[in-house]
Chain A
Amino acid sequence: AQSVTQLDSHVSVSEGTPVLLRCNYSSSYSPSLFWYVQHPNKGLQLLLKYTSAATLVKGINGFEAEFKKSETSFHLTKPSAHMSDAAEYFCVVSYGGATNKLIFGTGTLLAVQP
């Protein structure tokens, strides 16, 4: 079955320190991969996407992710956390096809301490 696994349900960092949110996907064939962010009482916002072009993908707000096929991973990173980064982050996979439905991970709640 197509799936995506987020390895940490909660991550806590101090402001100004690096962020690493981990994600692995099942490897049926080449997927499209995304990271979405969900702030409280707000809709899901696309941070970045990988669709078989460059393996290092840069997104909004200083986030980036690297697609590693050998490890079936798509971890999200940011060099320096800001208080406004506190939110829930979802790793998402799509295998395309006629539906192009998105398959979400269970989410990682990022807390940023002052």
Chain B
Amino acid sequence: DTGVSQDPRHKITKRGQNVTFRCDPISEHNRLYWYRQTLGQGPEFLTYFQNEAQLEKSRLLSDRFSAERPKGSFSTLEIQRTEQGDSAMYLCASSLKGGGTSGSSYEQYFGPGTRLTVT
């Protein structure tokens, strides 16, 4: 396994169109996260899954956004009726679930991201 992969790497779409991104996590990782990074800012948390269950969503995730992780493997992030403000890098990360102070339980591995441009 070579790490977290994301597809596509770049997407240009017109305002109002729907787009879908895919993330394939490291195979043994049961946690999957989505983050969004706008120009000049650090990534911001959007949502996360533990196996197939979506357990938390940020207030940044409007009703136009939906994420799924069927069967607890890959995940998709769909944006409906895109707006120019949706232009950003969408990052996916995966990790193992754990607790306590074990460093490995907190380590998230990131994919290369999908850069979305809405014109």
Contacts and interface: CB of A to CB of B under 8 A. Distances in A.
Contact of B44 (A43, A94, A104): A104
A103 B45 contact: yes
A43 B4 contact: yes
Contacts, number: 69
Contacts of A53: 101, 103
Given A51-B106, A94-B106, A100-B95, A44 B43 contact: yes
A7 to B, nearest CB: 14
Interface residues on B, range: 20 to 34
Interface in B48-106: 48, 55-56, 91, 93, 95, 99, 101-103, 105-106
Contact of A96 (B3, B41, B106): B106
Interface residues on A, range: 20 to 34
B41 A49 contact: no
A51 B43 contact: no
Contact of A107 (B42, B55, B95, B112): B42
B45 A51 contact: no
A99 interface: yes
B40 A51 contact: no
B108 interface: yes
Interface in A67-114: 90, 92, 94, 96, 98-107
B21 interface: no
A19 to B, nearest CB: 19
B36 to A, nearest CB: 11
A106 B42 contact: yes
Contact of B55 (A92, A98, A103): A98
Contact of B56 (A45, A92, A101): A101
Interface of B: 3-4, 31, 33, 35, 40-45, 48, 55-56, 91, 93, 95, 99, 101-103, 105-113
Interface of A: 32, 34, 36, 41-46, 49, 51-53, 90, 92, 94, 96, 98-107
6 contacts: A43-B3, A51-B102, A90-B43, A92-B42, A94-B106, A101-B45
